[in-house]
């Protein structure tokens, strides 16, 4: 296990501290880093939310989501670092003065404001932080996706936040960038000599990116129904994955070096027009079905009202630049799919000339399977001679790197890593303003194409791979979706 390097001491104010995100992700992440000794003792967490309650009451609620062997003793020490303050985050309330008093005298210390709130209030809360003079030069603001619901709302939010915080102090979270295997994409591509010379239209036939979940919209149905799979997953997580696969080598891993290369990819993404919707876009919504052997209701039954929101989408994306001309990137994501898996599959081109006898088996092009979760790993499918007598017979077998077999490490969850990266000021793992806006421009075009092209929302049974039209998207190009488990 790699050595853990403690971060500098910090003060963190979590707005929306009684919400789901704070209780399920942020506090447990901080607690785990505390248990591993990465958070110095003189750090403080100020949990702020609308409800009136005492710190003790808050801690009882927060502890529901914290588990593990170390819990009892460590939780007692950790909770001493936490206080709760009732506040109307974007109005006038005494809570602001309480926070101000608590932070007073610590102006040089790293200060984090985490907005675990709906994006519509990011601007007003930042204005309030500014008005109460809480933003010091050492302050950082952390924002959750979605930043807006289209290009214009994102720009509006970015401007309001930017009026109080410099871009270099704004940390926009896309939690996929905190995943171990997503970070490995940079290492895989740029710390190995093998791949880069063929990592282009000359060597690669196409790329598939799949993020499939078995969960439904669940308790977040209200938010989800306004977002849908495109805004909830593609605009951020899938496009970020696409960027990491497609970008040019950055000058270094420094924040702006990486983000500038990602931005170039986003700007090179071809805007999909209404007349291309039929061959480039598919959307679907799950109906009732079976997940892991149990019946589950359809989306509209869960929601309790009719809806046209997509819970599945498949997109044939194109990157109009020198490296990727003519190489489709097929993106697919959905809820209530057959199994949970996030993976990137890079299909290489066939060898230029087949010198092996035709009866020895069909030559298959190499395929790289990058499994992001679960069963993290990297698999390179290769043609190999079947050992033994009987002449030249071919087999397509994997060179297999399974994380579970190769590494002992019990690596931190994405939020743990991202929170520590905020304290360190490592911007490379966060989205820059121009990236978010460029991603929205492309996403807005998809929505326009859906609307103007009157694209249907196809139904699919929960527990399947989405509507059959998703498969057509590839079969029309004489390709098929691969499943990394059987690649």
Binding-site residues sit at 16-23, 50, 145, 175, 179, 213, 232, 335
Pairing assessment for the beta strands 294-296 and 289-291 based on DSSP bridges:
antiparallel
Q: Note whether 7 and 423 are within 8 A (CB).
A: yes
Q: Measured from the CB of residue 52, what is the shortest distance to ligand BG6 in angstroms?
A: 29
Q: Measure the CA–CA gap between 434 and 162, rounded to whole angstroms.
A: 12
What residues between 429 and 448 interact with ligand BG6 by CB under 6 A? none
Q: Where does 241-326 show beta strands of DSSP type E?
A: 281-287, 289-291, 294-296, 312-317
Q: Measure the CA–CA gap between 30 and 419, rounded to whole angstroms.
A: 8
Between 220 and 385, name the residue whose CB sits nearer to ligand BG6: 220
Token representation of residue 51: 């409800």
Between 11 and 465, name the residue whose CB sits nearer to ligand BG6: 465
Q: Measure the CA–CA gap between 418 and 430, rounded to whole angstroms.
A: 8
Q: Is residue 483 close enough to count as binding ligand BG6 by CB under 6 A?
A: no
Q: Note whether 371 and 181 are within 8 A (CB).
A: yes
> How far is the CA of 79 from the CAs of 42, 68, 175, 425, in angstroms?
12, 15, 25, 25
Between 232 and 465, name the residue whose CB sits nearer to ligand BG6: 232
Q: Is residue 232 close enough to count as binding ligand BG6 by CB under 6 A?
A: yes
Between 111 and 145, name the residue whose CB sits nearer to ligand BG6: 145
Between 8 and 180, name the residue whose CB sits nearer to ligand BG6: 180
Q: Note whether 38 and 6 are within 8 A (CB).
A: yes
Annotated binding site for NADP(+): 16-23, 50, 145
What residues between 248 and 307 interact with ligand BG6 by CB under 6 A? none
Between 213 and 256, name the residue whose CB sits nearer to ligand BG6: 213
> How far is the CA of 27 from the CAs of 8, 14, 62, 65, in angstroms?
18, 9, 7, 8
Token representation of residue 468: 């059959």
Residue nearest to ligand BG6 (CB): 232
Residue 132: active-site member: no
Work out whether the CA dihedral 211, 216, 221, 226 comes out positive or negative.
positive
Q: Which helix (H) or strand (E) holds 247?
A: none
Q: Measured from the CB of residue 16, what is the shortest distance to ligand BG6 in angstroms?
A: 15
Q: Measured from the CB of residue 147, what is the shortest distance to ligand BG6 in angstroms?
A: 12
Q: Measured from the CB of residue 384, what is the shortest distance to ligand BG6 in angstroms?
A: 33
Q: Note whether 196 and 346 are within 8 A (CB).
A: no
What values do phi and psi take at 230, rounded to 5?
Answer: -65, -50
76, with CB counted inside 10 A (0-12, 13-18, 19+), is: exposed
SS3 32: helix
Task: Please state the separation of Cα 485 from the chain's center in Å.
Answer: 22
Catalytic residue among 237, 353, 458, 486: 237
Between 328 and 484, name the residue whose CB sits nearer to ligand BG6: 484
Q: How many residues bind ligand BG6 (CB under 6 A)?
A: 3
Contact mark string toward ligand BG6, 197..226, x via CB under 6 A:
----------------x-------------
Q: Measured from the CB of residue 381, what is the shortest distance to ligand BG6 in angstroms?
A: 24
Token representation of residue 373: 């979760």
Q: Measured from the CB of residue 232, what is the shortest distance to ligand BG6 in angstroms?
A: 5
What residues between 404 and 433 interact with ligand BG6 by CB under 6 A? none
Q: Measure the CA–CA gap between 262 and 247, rounded to whole angstroms.
A: 6
Q: Measured from the CB of residue 39, what is the shortest distance to ligand BG6 in angstroms?
A: 23
Q: Note whether 333 and 187 are within 8 A (CB).
A: no
Q: Measured from the CB of residue 220, what is the shortest distance to ligand BG6 in angstroms?
A: 7
Q: Note whether 171 and 141 are within 8 A (CB).
A: yes
Annotated binding site for substrate: 175, 179, 213, 232, 335
What residues between 331 and 360 interact with ligand BG6 by CB under 6 A? 342
Q: Which helix (H) or strand (E) holds 108?
A: none
Q: Measure the CA–CA gap between 129 and 125, rounded to whole angstroms.
A: 6
Token representation of residue 452: 């103007």
Between 232 and 310, name the residue whose CB sits nearer to ligand BG6: 232
> How far is the CA of 74 from the CAs of 10, 41, 63, 78, 224, in angstroms?
19, 12, 12, 6, 36
Q: Measure the CA–CA gap between 417 and 74, rounded to whole angstroms.
A: 20
Q: Measured from the CB of residue 274, what is the shortest distance to ligand BG6 in angstroms?
A: 27
Q: What residues act catalytically? A: 237
Q: Which spans of this chain sit near ligand BG6 (rule: CB under 6 A)?
A: 213, 232, 342
């Amino acid at each position: 296990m790699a050595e853990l390097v403690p971060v500098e001491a910090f003060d963190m104010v979590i707005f929306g501290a009684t919400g789901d995100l704070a209780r399920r992700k942020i506090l447990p992440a901080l607690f785990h880093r505390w248990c591993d000794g990465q958070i110095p003792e003189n750090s403080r967490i100020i949990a702020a939310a609308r409800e009136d309650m005492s710190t003790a009451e808050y801690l009882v609620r927060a502890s529901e989501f914290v588990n593990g062997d170390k819990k009892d003793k460590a939780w007692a020490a950790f909770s001493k670092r936490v206080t709760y303050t009732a506040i109307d985050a974007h109005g006038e309330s005494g809570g602001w003065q309480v926070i101000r008093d608590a932070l007073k005298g610590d102006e040089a210390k790293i200060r984090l404001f985490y907005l675990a709130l709906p994006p519509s209030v990011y601007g007003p809360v930042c204005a309030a932080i500014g008005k109460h003079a809480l933003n010091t030069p050492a302050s950082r603001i952390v924002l959750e996706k979605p930043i807006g619901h289209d290009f214009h709302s994102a720009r509006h939010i970015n401007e309001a936040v930017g009026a109080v915080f410099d871009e270099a102090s704004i940390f926009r979270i896309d939690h996929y960038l905190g995943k171990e295997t997503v970070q490995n994409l940079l290492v895989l591509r740029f710390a190995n000599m093998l791949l880069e010379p063929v990592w282009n239209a000359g060597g690669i036939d196409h790329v598939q990116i799949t993020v499939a979940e078995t969960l439904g919209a669940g308790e977040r149905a209200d938010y989800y129904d306004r977002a849908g799979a495109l805004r909830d997953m593609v605009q951020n997580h899938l496009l970020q994955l696409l960027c990491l696969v497609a970008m040019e080598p950055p000058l270094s891993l420094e924040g702006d070096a990486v983000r500038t290369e990602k931005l170039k990819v986003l700007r090179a993404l071809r805007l999909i027009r209404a007349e291309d919707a039929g061959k480039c876009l598919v959307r679907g919504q799950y109906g009732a079905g079976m997940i892991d052997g149990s019946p589950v209701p359809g989306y509209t039954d869960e929601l309790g009202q009719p809806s046209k929101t997509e819970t599945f989408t498949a997109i044939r994306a194109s990157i109009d630049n020198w490296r990727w001309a003519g190489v489709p990137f097929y993106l697919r994501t959905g809820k209530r799919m057959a199994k949970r898996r996030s993976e990137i599959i890079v299909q290489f081109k066939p060898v230029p000339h087949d010198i092996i006898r035709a009866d020895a088996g069909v030559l298959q092009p190499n395929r790289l399977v990058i499994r992001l979760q679960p069963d993290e790993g990297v698999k390179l499918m290769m043609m190999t001679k079947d050992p033994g007598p009987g002449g030249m017979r071919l087999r397509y077998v994997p060179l297999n790197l399974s994380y579970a077999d190769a590494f002992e490490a019990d690596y931190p969850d994405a939020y743990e890593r991202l929170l520590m990266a905020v304290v360190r000021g490592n911007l490379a793992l966060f989205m820059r303003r121009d990236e978010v806006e460029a991603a929205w421009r492309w996403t807005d075009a998809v929505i326009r194409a859906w609307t103007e092209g009157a694209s249907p929302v196809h139904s699919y049974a929960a527990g399947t791979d989405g509507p059959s039209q998703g498969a057509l998207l590839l079969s029309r190009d004489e390709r098929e979706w691969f499943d990394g488990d059987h690649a």
